[in-house]
Amino acid sequence: MRTQRTPDQRFRTARVAVAGGFLLLSFIVSLGAFVLFNDGRIDRTLFFPGARTAEVGGELRSLPRLDNTREDLQLLMREIILGPTEIRHGRLLPRGTQLRSVIVRDNKAFINFSEGILFEAPEQQLALEEVLDVLRRTVRYNFREIDRVVFTINGQLPSQPFFELPPPQDTELSLLE
């Protein structure tokens, strides 16, 4: 035997249906706004030492998503060179540091800095190897597809003997001698 619903029960059912409809409508509007107004940005975490300690902490930045991994990585390195935005963080790289080149090949990143990275900033509390470790951590955290990161300074590997190719000899002049 089927029971009759009271007007109060029908009113409650209608309220639940209306609330569910509003929830569904708001979800559809939010999803549409996300698809239409997505500005092509991505959140990246940059790691910096503390302003008063060498303890490393992350700082979230919303950066534009560029065409490929190399350009995204290049932008990330430039943001690190600019320094932190939060007062609790200190600079990781000295102000005179310039990014010379970024190459990404076969899940490896090759990042070349100017010699400015070698000069200690007065507020910097990390040694060069520690700085490179923090940079490596930042790259690997933001680009999971990169397996290996190689840093160079003016094309030279840090902590390695200086390498220079001799100038090419002119074969015509050597034949005349």
* DSSP 8-state secondary structure symbol assigned to residue 156: B
Judgement on whether residues 30 and 64 belong to the same structural domain of the protein: no
- Kindly state whether residue 1 falls inside one of the protein's structural domains: no
pLDDT at res. 3: 72
Judgement on whether residues 54 and 89 belong to the same structural domain of the protein: yes
Judgement on whether residues 27 and 107 belong to the same structural domain of the protein: no
pLDDT at res. 79: 96
- Kindly state whether residue 52 falls inside one of the protein's structural domains: yes
pLDDT at res. 7: 81
* DSSP 8-state secondary structure symbol assigned to residue 166: P
Domain of 51?
41-153
Residues 43 and 149: their CA atoms lie apart, in Å, by 21
pLDDT at res. 144: 95
Cβ atoms 91, 56 nearer than 8 A: no
Total structural domains within the chain: 2
DSSP-based helix, strand, coil % in the chain, nearest 5 = 40, 25, 40
Judgement on whether residues 16 and 72 belong to the same structural domain of the protein: no
Judgement on whether residues 71 and 117 belong to the same structural domain of the protein: yes
- Kindly state whether residue 118 falls inside one of the protein's structural domains: yes
Judgement on whether residues 62 and 145 belong to the same structural domain of the protein: yes
Best CA proximity match to 51, nearest among 95, 97, 85: 85
* SS3 state of residue 114: coil
Q: What is the CATH number of the domain that holds 103?
A: 3.30.300
Tens place of pLDDT per residue across the chain (177 aa): 567 778 888 888 888 888 888 888 888 888 777 666 667 889 999 999 988 887 899 999 999 998 899 999 999 999 999 999 999 999 999 888 999 999 999 999 999 999 988 876 656 678 889 999 999 999 999 999 999 999 999 988 887 666 666 777 766 655 555
Q: Is pTM, for the whole model, over 0.85? A: no
